[in-house]
Structure 1
Amino acid sequence: MLKRSTLLLLLAMFTHLLSYSQDTYLFVGSYNGAKDKDGIYIYRMNMQTGQLTKVCTYSAILNPSYLILSRDGQYIYACSETRTPGMGSVSSYTFDRQQQKITLLSKQDSGGENPVYLTTDKSGAWLVNGNYTGGSIAVFPLKADGTIAPAVKVIPFTDHSIDTGRQKTAHIHSTVFSPDDRYVFSPDLGADKIRRYRFEAAQSQPLQPDSSVRAVPGSGPRHFTFHPNGKYAYCIEEMAGAVSAYRYADGQLDSIQRLMTHGKEPYGFYNSADIHIAPDGRFLYASNRGDENNIAIYRIGDDGRLTFVAYQSTLGEHPRNFLIDPSGKFLLVANQISGDVVVFRRNIQTGRLTYTGVKVKMTGPSSLQIKTYHN
């Protein structure tokens, strides 16, 4: 029988070998402003220190401002030609880890101006896109080689709400699948609604409008996320600077709480942006742009209700997007206007964030995705 010391040594050796059998990469989309500038960035991330090392970049595409990855990490899908009057596209790329190279595979019209959000179903057969300025949702088939086929359905909206400056028409800001893939929920900043659609992957027209939940007038619902247990959902409201919490079951959202994400009144207007929950489901994080430029941290109770914990400066300007890595160890922020990605370490017990000293500069970072590959 092996001695305890020998077992510990073998365990340490196994852990050491395991660390060399996988690589974690950070993918960054941006508002590059011109096709001759880098738009997509890929960094290798050290999961012990948070250090980021640039691997490769891709230009020749305008404003690839929001990215997602295929489930195997082989393909990158992007909202592109955003904030470009009369334009808008969705595009796909392959990432070759051996050659450390990004290659464009396909591009399709987004079905509306200014696409801002993408998501795929669990089967990887469908891509759903939200167009902000165009006020529409588009559905695209995905081919096995990573290319995007033309849209099979575009659903336009003309609704409006009470703010005559920002809510003259619909502004779709995100498209999020329910945990069971039976529904897609889509916050509409312009109409103050969270729209719901039925989804059936086996159908040629998989997405069908169903119903909607009314948000507070003038609140501007933006991004939406489900709790890991599938029982609760949360929506960040850009214009009101608030988070609304819902109890969720079988496609139904029932309001249970609404609270401010800002610690003070803004000089201009509220500008809340992104929202995510830690992998263990214990803490929720929300980003605030504008005057504060911070992450609001909340503890999530067993009943789904939120309790404020702290604010953390993002050490930059305009935190449009952020992510929590799947291990829950790190939170990374994309500060769009100051042009940097900042890495924080998470305290898993308290939810609080500590700056790691890692900050990388680039033009207009606006979207982050992370993937660990096993070699």
Structure 2
Amino acid sequence: MQSAFLVFVGSLNREAPYFQGARGVGLGVYAFDEATLAIQKLAETNEVDNPTFLSVTPDGTLIYANSEVFAWREGTVTAYRFDRATNSLAYINKQPSLGSITAHNTITHDGSKLLVANYGMGSGGPDKAVAVFGFAADGDLTAPLASVAHSGTGPNAERQERSHAH
């Protein structure tokens, strides 16, 4: 697979009320050969809970995975390193997302920060809509650098009882 692209996949490995029967492996890395359409599993780990959204550095070595677990009071973001030479995933660290139902993340254009959006439901939790994390030299996530809670409702009061960052 000389012309293979790396494909990073997060899948639910814990059931949720809105995704019954989750049977995924968690985090997986695959090689995809665009010329032959062949797919090859390179690595996977079940050590991260429900990685529903991933961001990957341009070189494919660092992965930041949101854990969206409905029953948790607060979500998490977990950092992993992918080693292409050994086709292995290594856990780096984990940080709380400062909100429930951690829905989205993205690495800033300059590669210096990770922005995390929390969906949140109800109140009483950490309830931050957006949190900002930095990166240590080895890819570790820092503690949150900043966060903000939003107020207000959406046009559909039944499902948008509060603002949703994403």
Q: For this structure pair, what is the TM-score category when the shorter chain's length is used for normalisation?
A: 0.7 to 0.9
- TM-score where L is the length of structure 1: 0.39
What is the distance in 2 between the residues matched to 1:123 and 1:163? Answer: 36
Sequence identity (%): 29
- Equivalence map 1:100-179=2 (5 Å): 100-133=87-120, 134=127, 136-173=129-166
- TM-score where L is the length of structure 2: 0.84
Shift of 1:37: 6.3
| Higher fraction of helix | 1
Shift of 1:154: 1.0
- Aligned partner letter, 1:31: L
Q: Which residue of the partner structure matches residue 28 of structure 1? A: 9
Q: Which residue of the partner structure matches residue 26 of structure 2? A: 39
Structure with greater Cα Rg: 1
What is the distance in 2 between the residues matched to 1:123 and 1:57? Answer: 28
Runs of 4+ in structure 1 displaced over 2 angstroms? 81-85
Q: In the alignment, does 2:60 pair up with 1:60?
A: no
Q: Structure 1: where are the runs of 5+ without partners? A: 1-18, 174-375
- Aligned partner letter, 2:30: Y
- Equivalence map 1:1-375=2 (5 Å): 20=2, 22-33=3-14, 38-133=25-120, 134=127, 136-173=129-166
1:226-275 Cα offsets, whole Å, 9 max, x none, are xxxxxxxxxxxxxxxxxxxxxxxxxxxxxxxxxxxxxxxxxxxxxxxxxx
- Aligned partner letter, 1:144: A
- Aligned partner letter, 1:130: A
Whether contact under 8 Å (1:135, 1:170) holds in the other structure is: no
| Higher fraction of strand | 1
Shift of 1:135: 5.8
Shift of 1:54: 1.3
- Aligned partner letter, 2:12: Y
- Aligned partner letter, 1:33: R
What is the distance in 1 between the residues matched to 2:84 and 2:71? Answer: 31
The number of residues matched between the two structures is 153
Q: Structure 2: where are the runs of 5+ without partners? A: 16-22, 121-126
Whether contact under 8 Å (1:107, 1:148) holds in the other structure is: yes
Cα 1:164–1:135 shift into 2, 3 Å: farther
What is the distance in 1 between the residues matched to 2:42 and 2:71? Answer: 28
RMSD, aligned CA: 1.9
What is the distance in 1 between the residues matched to 2:39 and 2:89? Answer: 18
